[in-house]
């Protein structure tokens, strides 16, 4: 079986997910034996138009980016969304909470007429083109990325948990953030990160998106037992899980 | 030799984010030499508005995946100032250590993965892994060590988890700190080998000088990274972090879509070379030795040497970390988080990110909800200066072949180590 | 403990119950767009030794394991057969295999249709929905190979479309036999299909069961059972004479992993073949 | 065998001695909670712990365990059995839970992986010296246990009493050197400790006897409580993960970078998780969270007891501690069904 050719592209984001690929360190050399990286602007000057797997990082914030993404999709037999920005729009979507007219007024009020600032509402990659696989997280988990790459090279479905972060969190015997007086979004968030945040004494912010059948109503009814306000919950949800303020989707 | 040159390099590869270089010359006359930033703006100041005080750090960490620790530090420091929080000395020292891990990681990444291929005539580190596996392994080893150092202190390498207003959510056990001390001591020989390998090909670093204003933090008695006042190589005057807007006077120029900054001249430079030029007297012995080895000298205005200054800083970081770890050894690190109470207020901070000085400012209402924010990022502060460098460099390159011109220009851009994904804040958003 | 080509694996009895035995694919053939038919034999001298209705856990290293019914009758020795629908990792990987390739086998597991026990001497009504024909086929073949042991045989088979019909060669053969009745239907009219159209329950009206001791053997998609059982009640087949084969999620096949529980029953232990009468009290069963 | 006595200092010395040549696992502090961990020195032990975040099952049925490794298409090898270890300081309710797991994994088809770990383990029980806030082992008959351990420690006054029940336990205790027999007064004191633990471990009080639970559930399959309580449930499986009697697992294959070699791992799974009963093709046999929520109580207090005769809940209270939604309390569920 020839090595699949992989091209890595980026859109609006912090490039932290690409950095996680670099951070595979020695395993990056292993990865390069399994796949043939033919384009990766951040790390190399080589470029190519022919590839089997497109890995796309970043959210889509401009019409011209939508066009570029569609061109990539046309050439890509398989497309992988890398990280929260690509998977869900990530916290870039916080911008969508501000009415576009307000954004424009604030921006053009001082330095009007700069066309690059005329950004569209932020979209996830899957809101523009079909996505075959999602590697979630802000940033992605290196082990999960490696695992997905190996699955793709083998031609199998990767197993990505649909259950909440609490599963992994309890397995790691972390102190539960709720008991420490914080709002933790672990019960609503898809696992796979190994409960990275609670393991460091920080509450889960929901960067991997909602778990299957996330019970938002349940969460709202639990708040009072912990003396928390709905306002505070909504502020947390806004960062990653529910940036549009529409209620957590079950996607 | 009259030459016609037509270059449009888009994107410039092996930099963080999308940058574009356009050069047009005919008959030996430069018509256009421009550095453009086509990256989509992300509106972080808008994004943090209405966030609560404890959500600022996680949000602004995502400005940049490479320097997320610097952004996090800048954010928690500014939030602490706004809310009137004082952290313990131990927490402050741990923060310096955490910051160092990122500086080392970023510098090794830049010099080892992004710049070395230029000096060794390769298109990327991938073919270098075939031809110079030993060197690549050293780079990988250093990078891994720096990342694991971040893991230990920040909870992970990118988008730190432990850095919160008030201190740390989790601190390493004494035995973990002792392990780190030993590990870092072992890195010095490895870093030395990397420096020697770079020195061997240092002849490939172009020689180009332009009289430049350099801006960096300065703090008496230390090579400043996390605290101090804003200083310039042009004057002895310095300003507190809270006055950063009067330093980074952002202005729009018809020449570029990116906003430029100016203090005493039309542009200034920040970054490792700026820090070196302002703080070289404070370098510890090993770093001083390396600076001499590379001939950085008393004051250096060759922007290509920024990568060398980064290497010198690697030595500084490793040496100073030993000092800090020695002083933390055997100490009880329990009081590393103080309670924070939301309050109305405003605060600003300045931190040296790997790519240069970084400013944050936030204002909060009495519930601790953010009302306004301003982030001023190093790469933004460099855009104007990079443009000026290009303008001054290109006429002298016209006798070269198109490929060589292209390489020299790309190398210049890379030497600045621009982090364009972070710099996509190029208009200040003020909420009224 | 090892199971390799050169050192025959231990059987599940004494050793590691999770260790597969290597087996070799003798033939692989596509049956429909999403179903493939496999003939395979364990490496080494042993026969699989299964009973009709039992299943095996099939391993493709790196992909995982999947429970698959043996669709051939133990009366036909030497090799065994399975029909696999491509639906996930393991089944996809199986579809990519060619003759000569290896897979791992654990089992046989579970209960079986009591062909040598109480079904002997009875009239048999087989009701197969879609891929449910696969496990039933092992019992059908068994009954045909020991034709004298059983009374009348009727087979009702339904699929969603004509293109999804399985074992079409055998169906044709069965159709031609005069010692059994085969009625077929497809859910939707399909080009080239001149036969019955409609749900499988529609076939019951066409069925004329002579008096005598009837037993029914039923396997199909989860939604099918309730409706088929209603028809069987109407035909006055006693529920203790109705044998259903059920599918559940299954990870170990040996009663440990907990996934296959229907209320208190384990499909891999007390099933997959159950007596319908034993399931009526179980709300999760049918 | 007779009951011996040991002062706390010599107990520590004995453990440090054991640590010279084997793994000893015991309760240690983590933040303001406790966990079982492999010890590096006896002084880290917290024998006064109230309960641990996870039960000691994690050393017998690890949360993630390699069952076999493979190379190519036809070479499978079982994972080698673990080295012997001492599991020290296990409270009676957890001993009772381990006995239940022993039965599951040894009956019919023997699970060699579990049994190898179990065989490698010397189980040293410890009567509880503190009671956790949600413990109700007293109601489940597991506040004390007279079997299932190799060695039992009980703290009476300033001393520990040590009783061995098996050869494994005896030989372990022998390594402590010559020990004095327990005085009759101390044995009486131990009886009083047992009685007081049976009373104290009733932080929630079940209003019926455990034996009545299967019958109670038989009558209440369609009770509105399942839906009502499940409305708050996140299907987060925390109650499964922390439960000493939950043992359901998932199995997944993973390959290394050669794409040829790899391992088949089992990992804890939980019946509260949405996909626990979903099959290929998308059908889910317990799609609604109320169905899964109910299943857990039925499994613990009806299905398994009907097979084994024992309620599969030992009253450790961990699920009550771990449930963010505060909806996982078995006693509340049963008492509500009882109409109280
Ligand atoms: C007793 C019995 C007999 C059977 N006989 C046959 C037969 O003869 N022929 C046949 O084709 N099939 C048969 N099946 C069905 C067959 O076992 C499944 O189709 C097979 O397991 C699918 O395996 P897979 O690896 O290809 O799919 P998988 O990749 O495992 O899964 C496909 C789907 O299953 C679900 N899923 C699987 N694992 C997980 C997980 N860990 N977490 C979340 N979701 C998961 C998901 O919804 C996924 O989309 C039988 C099943 C049983 C129980
Ligand atoms: S800390 Fe968060 S993720 Fe962990 S158990 Fe508690 S709620 Fe779940
Ligand atoms: S009952 Fe509680 S612990 Fe259990 S799955 Fe539901 S929310 Fe999680
Ligand atoms: S059900 Fe709850 S109380 Fe009972 S044994 Fe499990 S975790 Fe402990």
Give pLDDT tens digits for C237-248.
Answer: 999 999 999 989
pLDDT at A71 (0 to 100): 94
The pLDDT value recorded for residue B257 is: 59
Q: Is 70 exceeded by the pLDDT of residue A104? A: no
Q: Is residue D311 part of a domain?
A: yes
The band of B26, judged by pLDDT with boundaries at 50, 70 and 90, is: confident
Angle between helices B306-328 and B272-279 (to 10 degrees): 70
Q: Look at residue A137 and tell me whether its pLDDT is greater than 90.
A: yes
Domains C21-108 and C123-278 share a fold: no
Which chains would you list as touching A if contact means 3+ CB atom pairs under 8 Å? Answer: B, C, D
pLDDT(D208) > 70: yes
Asked whether the predicted pLDDT for residue A114 surpasses 60, the reply is: no
* Residue identifier of the C-alpha nearest atom 8 of ligand 2: A166
Cα gap C238→A1, rounded to integer Å: 56
Residue C18 has its nearest CB partner, among D68, D73, D221, at: D68
Q: Cα of A169 to ligand 2 centre, how many Å?
A: 6
* pLDDT value of residue B413: 86
Reported as a single tens digit per residue, the pLDDT across D31-50 is: 999 999 999 999 999 999 99
- Are there at least 3 beta-carbon pairs closer than 8 Å between A and C? yes
Q: What is the pLDDT of residue A178?
A: 96
> Which of the four pLDDT bands, split at 50, 70 and 90, describes residue A118?
low
Q: How confident is the model over B113-129, as a mean pLDDT?
A: 81
Q: What span, in angstroms and rounded, lies between the C-alpha atoms of D124 and D92?
A: 10
The pLDDT of residue B61 is 95
| D63 and D156 part of one domain | yes
Which pLDDT does position A85 carry in this prediction? 94
> Which CATH number is C21-108 given?
2.40.30.10
Task: Kindly indicate the confidence band of residue D225, based on its pLDDT and cuts at 50, 70 and 90.
Answer: very high
C38 and C46 Cβ atoms separated by less than 8 Å: no
CATH of B44-423, picked from 2.60.120.10, 1.10.645.10, 3.30.420.40, 3.40.718.10, is: 1.10.645.10
Taking the CA of residue D189 and the nearest CA in chain C, the distance in Å comes to 41
| Cβ-based contacts under 8 A for chains C and D | 138
The token pair that represents B284 in the structure block: 């510890």
**Are B21 and B413 spatial neighbours (Cβ–Cβ below 8 Å)?**
yes
On whether any CB of chain A is under 8 Å from the CB of C233, the answer is no
A163 touches D at CB < 8 Å: yes
| More confident site: B430 or B276 | B276
The sign one gets for the Cα dihedral A8, A13, A16, A19 is positive
Return the percentage of chain A with pLDDT > 70, whole number: 88
Rounded to the nearest angstrom, the minimum Cα separation between C89 and chain A is 5
Ligand 4 pocket mutation, candidates D330, D333, D334, criterion most atoms within 8 A of CB: D330
Tell me what pLDDT residue B14 has.
Answer: 57
Instruction: Give dist(CA C151, CA C148) in Å, integer.
Output: 8
- Would strands B370-376 and B356-364 be described as parallel, antiparallel, or unpaired? antiparallel
Instruction: Answer yes or no: do A163 and D238 touch at CB < 8 A.
Output: no
Whose tokens are 């939508």? That residue is A66
pLDDT in the model for residue B114: 82
Mean pLDDT across D148-171: 96
The neighbours of chain C, by the rule of 3 or more Cβ pairs under 8 Å, are A, D
Supply the pLDDT for residue A67.
93
The predicted-structure confidence for A176-215, as pLDDT tens digits, reads as follows 999 999 999 999 999 999 999 999 999 999 999 999 999 9
Decide if D78 and C15 are in contact by the 8 Å CB cutoff.
yes
C113: tokens are: 């249709």
Q: Which of A78-82, C265-269, D40-44 has the lowest mean pLDDT?
A: C265-269
**Mean pLDDT, residues C141-159:** 94
Check pLDDT > 90 for residue D64: yes
pLDDT score of B239: 95
Closest Cα in chain A, distance from residue D234 (Å): 6
In angstroms, the CA A197 to CA D235 distance is: 20
Task: Sheet containing B20-26: give its strands across.
Answer: B5-9, B20-26, B29-36
Ligand nearest to the CA of D284: 1
Q: Is residue D306 part of a domain?
A: yes
Number of inter-chain CB pairs under 8 A, A vs C:
13
- Which residue matches tokens 């997905």? A148
**Residue D304 domain flag:** yes
The two structure tokens encoding residue B408? 């020299």
What are C186's strand-pairing partners?
C159, C197
- Count of helices and strands (H, E) across chain D: 13, 11
Domain locations in chain C?
A: 21-108, 123-278
User: Which of A31, A167, A211 minimises the CB distance to D270?
Assistant: A167
Q: What is the nearest CA distance from A102 to chain B, expressed in angstroms?
A: 10
Cβ separation of A156 and C96 shorter than 8 Å?
A: no
Whole-angstrom Cα distance, residue A35 to residue A153?
7
The first and second tokens of residue C48, run together, are: 């699989």
Q: Distance between CA atoms of B33 and B393, rounded to whole angstroms?
A: 10
pLDDT bucket at D103, cuts 50 / 70 / 90: very high
Q: Quick check: A16 and B52 CB within 8 A?
A: no
Residue D186 lies in a domain: yes
Disruptive mutation site among A91, A109, A113, A141 for chain B (greatest number of B CBs within 10 Å): A91
In this structure, the residue with its CA closest to atom 48 of ligand 1 is D280
Mean pLDDT, rounded, of chain C: 90
Mean pLDDT of D44-58: 97
Query: pLDDT exceeding 90 applies to what percent of chain D?
Result: 90
Residues D297-335: tens digit of each pLDDT:
999 999 989 888 899 999 999 999 999 999 999 999 999
Torsion over CA: D155, D160, D163, D169 (sign): positive
Tell which wins on pLDDT, A162 or A248. Answer: A162
What is the spatial distance between Cα B63 and Cα A17, in angstroms, rounded to a whole number? 13
Contact C124, C150 (CB under 8 A): yes
As a whole number of Å, the end-to-end CA separation of chain A is 34
C172: CB partners within 8 A, 6+ apart: none
Higher pLDDT, B390 or D64: D64
Fill in the DSSP letter of residue A174.
Answer: P
* Pairing verdict, β C35-42 and C21-30: antiparallel
Residue D9: pLDDT band by 50, 70, 90 thresholds?
very high
- What pLDDT was estimated at residue D169? 95
The reply to whether ligand 2 has any atom less than 6 angstroms from the CB of D324 is yes
* Cβ atoms of B382 and B416 closer than 8 Å: yes
Note whether D24 and D134 are same-domain residues: yes
The verdict on whether omega for the bond into residue C79 sits within 30 degrees of 0, i.e. cis, is no
The answer to whether residue D316 is domain-embedded is yes
> Which of D135, D169, D200 is at the close of a domain?
D200
Check residue D220 and give its pLDDT.
94
C191 three-state secondary structure: coil
- The pLDDT of B277-296, averaged and rounded, is 95
* B109-128 residues touching A, CB cutoff 8 A: 109, 113-114, 117, 123-126
Q: Whose CA is nearest to atom 6 of ligand 4?
A: D243
Helix (H) or strand (E) run with residue C111 in it:
none
Mean pLDDT score of chain D, rounded to an integer?
A: 95
- Probe ligand 2: pick from A163, A170, A175, A197, max atoms within 8 Å of CB? A170
- Closest approach of chain C CAs to the CA of A199, in angstroms? 28
Confidence of residue C264 (pLDDT cuts 50, 70, 90): confident
Which pLDDT score is estimated for B115? 84
Mean pLDDT is lowest, of A32-46, C258-272, D94-108, for A32-46
- In angstroms, the Cα distances linking C115 to C3, C69, C210 are 32, 16, 21
Distance from CA of D140 to the nearest CA of A (A): 24
Q: What are the residues whose beta carbons fall under 8 Å from the beta carbon of D69, sequence distance 6 or more? A: D76, D77, D79, D261, D262, D263, D264
What domain range includes position D177? 3-200
Backbone angles phi, psi at C164, to 5 degrees: -95, 5
C249 C-alpha to ligand 1 centroid (Å)? 7
- What is the sign, positive or negative, of the torsion defined by CA atoms of D17, D20, D21, D23? positive
Average pLDDT over residues B111-132: 82
Name the residue with higher pLDDT: D60 or D2.
D60
| CA–CA separation, C215 and C122 (whole Å) | 7
Between residues 73 and 132 of chain A, which touch chain B (CB distance below 8 Å)?
Answer: 90-92, 94-95, 97-98, 103, 106-107, 110-111, 114, 116-117, 119
Nearest-CB residue to B41 (from A19, A117, A138): A117
Q: Which two tokens stand for residue B199?
A: 């020195």
* Cβ within 8 Å, pair A187-D324: yes
**Is the Cβ pair D236, A163 closer than 8 Å?**
yes
Non-local (6+) Cβ contacts of B173 within 8 A are: none
State pLDDT tens for residues C93-137: 999 999 999 999 999 999 999 999 999 999 999 999 999 999 999
Shortest alpha-carbon distance between residue A214 and chain B (Å): 22
Of the partner residues B46, B124, B157, the one whose CB lies closest to the CB of residue A44: B124
- Tell whether omega for the bond before A139 is within 30 degrees of 0, i.e. cis: yes
**pLDDT class for D1, splitting at 50, 70, 90?**
low
Task: Count CA atoms within 13 Å of residue A100 on its CB side.
Answer: 8
3-state secondary structure D110-168: CCHHHHHHHHHEEEEEECCCCCCCCCCHHHHCCCCCCCCCCEEEEEECCEEEEEECCHH
C-alpha pair distances (Å), B253 with each of B358, B419, D64: 22, 21, 59
Q: What average pLDDT does range A63-83 have in this prediction? A: 94
pLDDT category of residue C209 using cuts at 50, 70 and 90: confident
**pLDDT on residue A116:** 45
> What is the structure's pLDDT at D248?
95
Which of A62, A91, A117 has its CB closest to that of B427? Answer: A117
Domain C123-278 has CATH 3.30.70.3000: no
Within an 8 Å CB–CB cutoff, is residue D236 touching chain A? yes
Identify the residue among A8, A14, A83 best suited for mutation to test binding to B, counting B beta carbons within 10 A and taking the highest: A14
Q: Which two tokens stand for residue C234?
A: 């109407």
Residue A184 Cα: closest atom of ligand 2: 2
Q: In terms of CATH, what superfamily is A5-153?
A: NADH:ubiquinone oxidoreductase-like, 20kDa subunit (3.40.50.700)
B124 Cβ neighbours under 8 A, 6+ residues apart: A40, A43, A44, A45, A46, B13, B14, B117
Q: What is the pLDDT of residue B427?
A: 32
Backbone angles phi, psi at D195, to 5 degrees: -65, -40
Distance A164 CA to ligand 1 centre (A): 23
The stretch C35-58 carries a mean pLDDT of 94
Question: How far is D129 from D27, CA to CA, in rounded Å?
Answer: 13
Ligand 2 pocket residue status of A170, Cβ below 6 Å: yes
In 3D, which of D266, D155, B225 has the Cα closest to residue C257? D266
Q: pLDDT higher for D128 or B411?
A: D128
- Report how far ligand 1's centroid is from the alpha carbon of C32 (Å): 18
Q: How many helices (H) and strands (E) does chain B have?
A: 14, 13
* pLDDT value, residue C263: 85
Is the sign of the CA dihedral A192, A196, A199, A204 positive or negative?
Answer: negative
Nearest CA to ligand 3 atom 2: D323
Chains D and A touching, counted as 3 or more CB pairs less than 8 Å apart: yes
Q: What is the pLDDT of residue B400?
A: 84
Question: Residue A250 above 60 pLDDT?
Answer: no
Q: Which ligand is nearest to the CA of C136?
A: 1
Cα distances (Å, whole numbers) of residue D254 to A82, A175, A222, D260: 21, 30, 38, 10
């Amino acid at each position: 079986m020839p090595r699949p050719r992989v091209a890595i592209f980026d859109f609006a984001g912090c490039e932290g997910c690409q950095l996680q690929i670099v951070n595979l360190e020695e395993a990056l050399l292993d990865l390069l034996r399994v796949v043939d990286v033919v384009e990766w602007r951040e790390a190399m000057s080589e470029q190519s138009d022919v590839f089997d797997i497109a890995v796309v990082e970043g959210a889509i914030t401009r019409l011209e980016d939508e066009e570029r993404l569609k061109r990539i999709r046309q050439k890509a037999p398989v497309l992988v969304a890398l990280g929260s920005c690509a998977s869900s729009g990530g916290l870039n979507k916080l911008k969508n909470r501000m009415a576009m007219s307000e954004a424009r007024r604030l921006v053009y009020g001082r330095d009007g007429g700069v066309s690059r600032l005329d950004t569209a509402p932020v979209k996830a990659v899957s809101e523009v083109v079909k996505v075959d696989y999602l590697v979630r997280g802000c940033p992605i988990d290196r082990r999960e990325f490696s695992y997905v790459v190996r699955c793709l090279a083998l031609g199998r479905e990767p197993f990505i948990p649909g259950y909440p972060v609490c599963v992994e969190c309890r397995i790691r015997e972390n102190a539960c953030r709720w008991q420490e007086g914080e709002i933790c979004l672990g019960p609503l968030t898809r696992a796979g990160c190994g409960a990275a945040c609670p393991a460091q004494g920080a509450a889960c912010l929901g960067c991997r998106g909602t778990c299957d059948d996330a019970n938002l109503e349940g969460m709202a009814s639990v708040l009072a037992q912990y003396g928390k306000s709905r306002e505070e919950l909504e502020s947390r949800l806004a960062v990653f899980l529910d940036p549009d303020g529409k209620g957590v989707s079950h996607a | 030799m009259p030459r016609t040159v037509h270059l449009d390099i888009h994107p410039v590869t092996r930099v963080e984010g999308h940058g574009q270089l356009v050069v047009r010359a005919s008959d030996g006359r430069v018509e256009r030499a421009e550095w453009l930033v086509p990256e989509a703006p992300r509106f972080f100041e808008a994004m943090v508005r209405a966030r609560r005080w404890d959500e600022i750090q996680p949000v602004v960490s995502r400005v940049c995946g490479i320097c997320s620790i610097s952004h996090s530090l800048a954010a928690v420091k500014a939030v602490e100032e706004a809310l009137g929080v004082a952290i313990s000395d131990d927490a402050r020292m741990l923060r310096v250590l955490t910051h160092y891990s990122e500086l080392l990681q970023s510098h090794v990444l830049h010099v080892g993965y992004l710049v070395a291929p230029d000096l060794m005539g390769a298109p990327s580190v991938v073919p270098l892994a075939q031809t110079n596996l030993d060197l690549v392994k050293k780079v990988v080893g250093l990078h891994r060590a720096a990342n694991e150092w971040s893991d230990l202190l920040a909870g992970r390498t990118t988008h730190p988890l432990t850095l919160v207003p008030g201190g740390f959510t989790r601190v390493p056990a004494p035995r973990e700190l002792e392990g780190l001390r030993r590990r870092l001591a072992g890195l010095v020989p490895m870093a030395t080998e990397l420096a020697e390998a770079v020195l061997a090909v240092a002849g490939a670093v172009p020689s180009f000088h332009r009289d430049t204003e350099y801006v960096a933090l300065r703090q008496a008695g230390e090579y400043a990274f996390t605290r101090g006042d804003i200083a310039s190589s042009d004057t002895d005057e310095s300003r507190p972090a809270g006055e950063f807007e009067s330093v980074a006077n952002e202005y729009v120029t018809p020449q570029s879509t990116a906003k430029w900054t100016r203090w005493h001249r039309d542009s200034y430079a920040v970054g490792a070379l700026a820090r070196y030029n302002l703080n070289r007297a404070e370098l510890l012995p090993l770093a001083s030795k390396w600076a001499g080895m590379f001939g950085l000298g008393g004051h250096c205005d060759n922007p290509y040497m920024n990568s060398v200054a980064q290497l010198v800083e690697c030595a500084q970081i490793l040496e100073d970390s030993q000092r800090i770890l020695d002083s933390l050894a055997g100490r009880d690190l329990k009081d590393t988080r103080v309670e924070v109470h939301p309050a109305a207020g405003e605060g600003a901070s300045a931190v040296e990110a790997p790519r240069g000085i970084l400013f944050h400012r936030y204002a909060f209402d009495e519930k601790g909800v953010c009302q306004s924010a301003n982030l001023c990022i190093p790469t933004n502060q460099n855009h104007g200066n990079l443009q000026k460098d290009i303008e001054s460099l290109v006429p002298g390159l016209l006798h070269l072949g198109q490929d060589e011109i292209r390489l020299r220009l790309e190398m210049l851009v890379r030497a600045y180590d621009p982090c364009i994904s972070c710099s996509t804040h190029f208009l200040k958003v003020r909420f009224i | 403990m090892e199971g390799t080509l050169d050192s025959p694996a231990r059987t599940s009895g004494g050793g590691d119950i999770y260790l597969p035995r290597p087996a070799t694919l003798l033939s692989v053939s596509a049956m429909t767009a999403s179903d493939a038919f496999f003939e395979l034999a364990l490496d080494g001298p042993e026969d699989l030794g299964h009973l009709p209705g039992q299943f095996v856990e099939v391993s493709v290293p790196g992909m995982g394991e999947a429970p698959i019914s043996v669709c051939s009758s133990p009366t036909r020795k030497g090799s065994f057969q399975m029909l696999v629908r491509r639906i996930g990792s393991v089944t996809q990987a199986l579809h990519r295999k060619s003759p000569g390739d290896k897979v791992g086998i654990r089992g046989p597991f579970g209960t079986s249709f009591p062909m040598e026990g109480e079904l002997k001497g009875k009239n048999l009504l087989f009701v197969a929905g879609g891929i449910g024909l696969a496990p039933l086929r092992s019992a059908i073949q068994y009954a045909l190979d020991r034709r004298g042991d059983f009374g009348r045989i009727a087979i009702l088979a339904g699929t969603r479309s004509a293109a999804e019909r399985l074992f079409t060669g055998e169906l044709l053969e069965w159709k031609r036999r005069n010692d059994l009745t085969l009625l077929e239907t497809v859910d939707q009219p399909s080009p080239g299909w001149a036969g019955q159209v409609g749900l499988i329950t529609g076939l019951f009206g066409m069925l004329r069961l002579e008096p005598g001791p009837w037993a029914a053997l039923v396997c199909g998609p989860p939604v099918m059972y309730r409706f088929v059982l209603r028809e069987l009640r109407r035909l006055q087949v006693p529920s203790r004479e109705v044998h259903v084969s059920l599918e559940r999620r299954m990870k170990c096949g040996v009663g440990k992993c907990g996934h296959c529980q229907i209320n208190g029953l384990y499909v891999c232990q007390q099933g997959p073949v159950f007596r319908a009468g034993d399931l009526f009290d179980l709300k999760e069963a049918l | 065998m007779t009951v011996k006595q040991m002062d706390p200092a010599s107990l520590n010395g004995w453990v440090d001695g054991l640590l010279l040549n084997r793994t000893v696992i015991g309760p240690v502090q983590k933040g303001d909670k406790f966990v079982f961990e492999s010890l590096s020195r006896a002084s880290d032990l917290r024998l006064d712990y109230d309960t641990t975040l996870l039960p000691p099952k994690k050393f017998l049925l690890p949360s993630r365990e390699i069952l076999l490794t493979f190379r190519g298409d036809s070479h499978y090898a079982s994972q080698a059995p673990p080295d012997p270890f001492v599991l020290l300081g296990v409270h009676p309710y957890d001993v009772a839970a381990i006995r239940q797991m022993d039965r599951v994994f040894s009956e019919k088809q023997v699970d060699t992986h579990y049994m190898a770990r179990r065989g490698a383990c010397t189980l040293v029980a410890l009567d509880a010296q503190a009671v956790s806030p949600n413990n109700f082992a007293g109601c489940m008959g597991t506040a004390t246990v007279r079997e299932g351990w190799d060695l039992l420690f009980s703290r009476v006054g300033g001393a520990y009493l040590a009783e061995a029940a098996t050869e494994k336990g005896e030989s372990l205790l022998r390594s402590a050197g010559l020990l004095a027999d327990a005085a009759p007064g101390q044995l009486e004191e131990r009886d009083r400790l047992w009685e007081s633990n049976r009373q104290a471990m009733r932080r929630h009080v079940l209003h019926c006897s455990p034996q009545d639970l299967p019958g109670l559930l038989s009558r209440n399959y369609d009770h509105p409580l399942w839906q009502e309580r499940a409305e708050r449930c996140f299907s987060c499986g925390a109650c499964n993960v922390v439960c000493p009697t939950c043992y359901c697992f998932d199995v997944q294959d993973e390959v290394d970078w050669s794409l040829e070699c790899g391992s088949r791992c089992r990992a804890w799974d939980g019946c509260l998780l949405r996909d626990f009963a979903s099959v290929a093709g998308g059908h889910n046999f317990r799609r609604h969270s109320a169905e899964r929520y109910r299943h857990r109580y039925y499994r613990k207090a009806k299905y398994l007891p009907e097979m084994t005769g024992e309620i599969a809940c030992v009253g450790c209270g961990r699920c009550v501690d771990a449930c963010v939604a505060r909806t996982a309390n078995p006693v509340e569920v049963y008492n509500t069904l009882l109409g109280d």
